Chain A
Amino acid sequence: MAKKKSSQQENATPIIVDEEEIATPEEDQTFKDLNEKLAKIRKNKGVIGYILRNTTSATIDLKEPEKMVEYAIFSSQVLDSSQEISDLFETGDVENVLIEGKENKVLCMKIDGNKISIFMEKGADAADIQKQISP
């Protein structure tokens, strides 16, 4: 038993906490505000769901919860790749990204360290939703 304990302690992965990555109280407040706005937007016609996350918290509300991981990975990829593209053309920090697919579309935004992805049907008014969520 003693040997086992020793082994577990040796294999434990140390968690390095980067202070910069921890959400500040301001970010937390923004997160709460955004969460409230998104909850309202979720009721809009044509909105399929949303993902809101910052470095410490995340809220996911989707029509198809079983596809949550798929949506989350896609959402993350969109913001990362968009920033890459923006850096290539030196157009600065990404503010929002609208991606239209054959079936649905997604609006991704960055607001005060919070990353938002709102999934909607093709006919939904993305510009209006963007207005609702913008500070």
Chain B
Amino acid sequence: MENEVYAFALKNTLQEIQNACPEVTSNFIFKDGKVIAKNKNTEQETATQTIEAFDAIAERADPIGDLESITIQSAEGKVNIAAMEEFYLTTVSSKEADEKYVNTLTRILIPIVIKLSEKIQPASLDNETSTTEPEPEPKEDDAYEASEENFGLNEDETENNETNEMDQPEEEEPAMPEPEPADEEPEIDDEPLLPEPPVTQLIVENLGGLLVPSDTVRVDQDVITRWNELYGDNKIKEVEVEALNGKTTRCKFKNIKKSKDTGKGIVKMPEKIQLTLETQQGELVTIKPIIE
């Protein structure tokens, strides 16, 4: 299963490399002596014999350590075998090929695809139990051939496996662990509905008496009405009051009872809150609602 996931991804990548660079006449990827993926131009037998020749060199490579790459420059072309992760990529190119371009393509694309395949792997294994209903379009696919030839699968099995692979990009989306975006969604929905709390500037008036709560200010009814219009059903239980010196406090609020005090732009404030804010009667404060 593991190799089949790689085969599907890598086969397409190999073909794309050749499309991008027609001077690449043949390319294939092998691992542990087996062809994992190859482009359409590469014969299975040729790839197998190349691996045997490569192994013969690798077996005697003690003087230089584990093989990382072989570049064979011949009269009419070049063969490069390069280690990539646990795989070996073989690229055959004509003499006209731009070596730097080919190397850039292969040495960037293939490792990326290998890493992506590794990440897809857990998702594909999770989805393995869900067999596919829709039949994919019949497609000429060397990865299919590679799977069949190298992993000893019969035709039906291979077809099913390929179908699974074809469906993976769609299936993997819900399988991808993405708890964070899901959590963020409600916040994103709420934010645009609520406008910024309006800041109102008011003049401090003393509020006294035996039954006056010390943690409540009295605000003009017009101001409270505007808040209610802005925020509708959202409850406003507290306000934030800020004095000119920058000191702030949160407190409860009620509307001003006396009609003669309404519409004057004042906030009636108990002495305790005035002390907290280090303000006094006649000074300006700003006040804004706190939306729950």
Contact of A98 among B26, B50, B54, B71 (CB under 8 A): B71
Given the interface pairs A89-B25, A89-B77, A92-B76, the reply to whether A101 lies near B49 with Cβ below 8 Å is no
Chain A residues closer than 8 Å to B49, beta-carbon distance: 84, 88
Chain A residues closer than 8 Å to B54, beta-carbon distance: 81, 85
The answer, yes or no, to whether B53 is at the interface (CB within 8 Å) is yes
The answer, yes or no, to whether B61 is at the interface (CB within 8 Å) is yes
Q: Within the assembled complex, what's the spacing in Å between the Cα atoms of A94 and B67?
A: 19
Question: How many A-B contacts at CB < 8 Å in the complex?
Answer: 111
The answer, yes or no, to whether B75 is at the interface (CB within 8 Å) is yes
Q: Mark A59-77, 1 if CB is under 8 A from B, else 0.
A: 0000000010011011001
- Whether the Cβ atoms of A70 and B63 lie closer than 8 Å is yes
The answer, yes or no, to whether B73 is at the interface (CB within 8 Å) is yes
B59, chain A: closest CB distance, angstroms: 8
- Whether the Cβ atoms of B63 and A82 lie closer than 8 Å is no
> What band does the interface of chain B fall in when counting residues whose beta carbon is under 8 Å from A?
20 to 34
- Whether the Cβ atoms of A119 and B64 lie closer than 8 Å is yes
Chain B residues closer than 8 Å to A104, beta-carbon distance: 63-65
- Whether the Cβ atoms of A102 and B92 lie closer than 8 Å is no
The answer, yes or no, to whether A78 is at the interface (CB within 8 Å) is yes
* Closest chain B residue, CB of each to CB of A102: B65
- Whether the Cβ atoms of A103 and B76 lie closer than 8 Å is no
Q: Within the assembled complex, what's the spacing in Å between the Cα atoms of A101 and B49?
A: 22
The answer, yes or no, to whether A6 is at the interface (CB within 8 Å) is no
Given the interface pairs A85-B50, A92-B76, the reply to whether A97 lies near B71 with Cβ below 8 Å is yes
- Whether the Cβ atoms of B68 and A100 lie closer than 8 Å is yes
Given the interface pairs A84-B49, A89-B92, A97-B73, the reply to whether A106 lies near B64 with Cβ below 8 Å is yes
- Whether the Cβ atoms of A99 and B79 lie closer than 8 Å is no
B82, chain A: closest CB distance, angstroms: 9
Given the interface pairs A81-B54, A84-B53, A104-B63, the reply to whether A91 lies near B78 with Cβ below 8 Å is yes
Chain A to chain B: the 3 pairs with minimum beta-carbon distance, closest first = A101-B64, A92-B75, A103-B65
Q: Can you list 14 residue pairs at the A/B interface with Cβ under 8 Å?
A: A70-B60, A74-B63, A85-B54, A86-B79, A91-B92, A93-B75, A97-B70, A97-B73, A98-B69, A99-B64, A100-B64, A102-B64, A102-B66, A106-B64
